[in-house]
Amino acid sequence: MLNNVHGLLFTQSNIYNLRELTEPRCLSSIPFGGRFRMIDFMLSNLVNAGVSDVGVLLLAKYKSLLDHLGSGKDWDLARHSGGLHLLPPYSLSNGENPRVFRGHMDTLSEIMPYLQDIRQEYVLIADGDIALNLDLEDVFQQHMDNHADMTLVCSPRYTGDPPATVYFQVGDDQTITDVIQCPSQPAGVEYLNIFLLSKELLLRLVSECATHRLYSFRNDLLPKLHHHLKLSAYAYDGFVTRCTSVASYYDSSMALLQPEVRRDLFCPQRPIRTRDRNEPSSYYAPGSVCRNSLVADGASIEGEVNNSIIFRDVRIERGTRLDGCIVLQGSLVCERTSLDYVVMDKNVVVRAGRVLHGFDSYPVFIAKGSVV
């Protein structure tokens, strides 16, 4: 168990534009898979490995994330000593609006007192907007076996947009030999924005970056590090996804309908935890139909649902047909409605008799709280 590791999760990045999905929330708070938020996956990975101190760095649009995380008790992080630390937004630019996110190192420099007070010897840093089931004990073991200065998690599967992604060239001994930034085509293994290093090295790097005005770990620091430090690449070959656009969010969600993907992401040995809302079981009315779909607790199905993901407290009325849809929490689809390839944010109402048809490559998106 990794009781000598401290976790740090970033909740905001300006790399990706998910339009309406991130209008009311940060990337880490995006709902995913029927009942989860994106941050649940890395938070669960840390807890499953025995990490008992986790700092969550907030920046903007964090209200829904605060509501979701609460005291951290659903992840066994509500503790008198250690546990979940919600780190408030740093330096405001004009007294009201948060400063633009410039990179991980810039953000870390703003919480230097917190970093100095970390009691563990090692720190694992990750973005909170990636979904994977990662054995962090294995990552730590490789780090120690290779006597690495830093171990970075990567994937041979390509999950992101190459022009916005970093790739590694890796030698036979798992050492990173080259860092390739934002190529036109995938080049090597893809960096997943997860890395492990000692607290001592972290403090030194943050201090040096602040002195030289280097803000981004990916763009400013990482390309130089492999010349001076031993960087080890941990290859993760399981299912992994980052939502870089509304289309990729849709594709990643639909992938969960495949049994092999669900087995990989939700393996019982390392459960993915989320906020417990004590919902009743889902309800299926007589005559309702549900095929190849994920339906969360508290949902009510009276119509026909095919190849779709239905979140908590969703109501699908009689005479309604859904195919290839994602319906987020608290939404209502009224009777005699036909929907194909539609993504509905929270608390949407689709009025009776509506017909909406998108495409699997370009789904229709309905913003939070809309009535259509």
Of 42-51, 215-224, 240-249, the range with the highest mean pLDDT is 42-51
Mean per-residue pLDDT, 259-266: 96
Predicted local distance difference test score (pLDDT) of residue 16: 63
Of residues 330, 320, 340, 336, the one with CA closest to residue 368: 330
Q: Give 42: exposed, middle or buried? Use CB within 10 Å, 0-12, 13-18, 19+.
A: buried
Q: Could you tell me which CATH class the domain 283-366 is placed in?
A: mainly beta
Of residues 279, 19, 244, the one with CA closest to residue 127: 244
Predicted local distance difference test score (pLDDT) of residue 31: 95
* Boundaries of every domain in the chain: 5-265, 283-366
32: left (phi over 0), alpha (psi -120 to 50) or beta: beta
Spatial separation of the C-alpha atoms in residues 200 and 221, rounded to whole Å: 17
Angle at the Cα of 195 from the Cα atoms of 192 and 200, rounded to 5 degrees = 160
CATH number for the domain whose boundaries are 5-265: 3.90.550.10
pLDDT classification of 237: cutoffs 50, 70, 90: very high
In this prediction the pTM is: 0.94
Spatial separation of the C-alpha atoms in residues 33 and 214, rounded to whole Å: 36
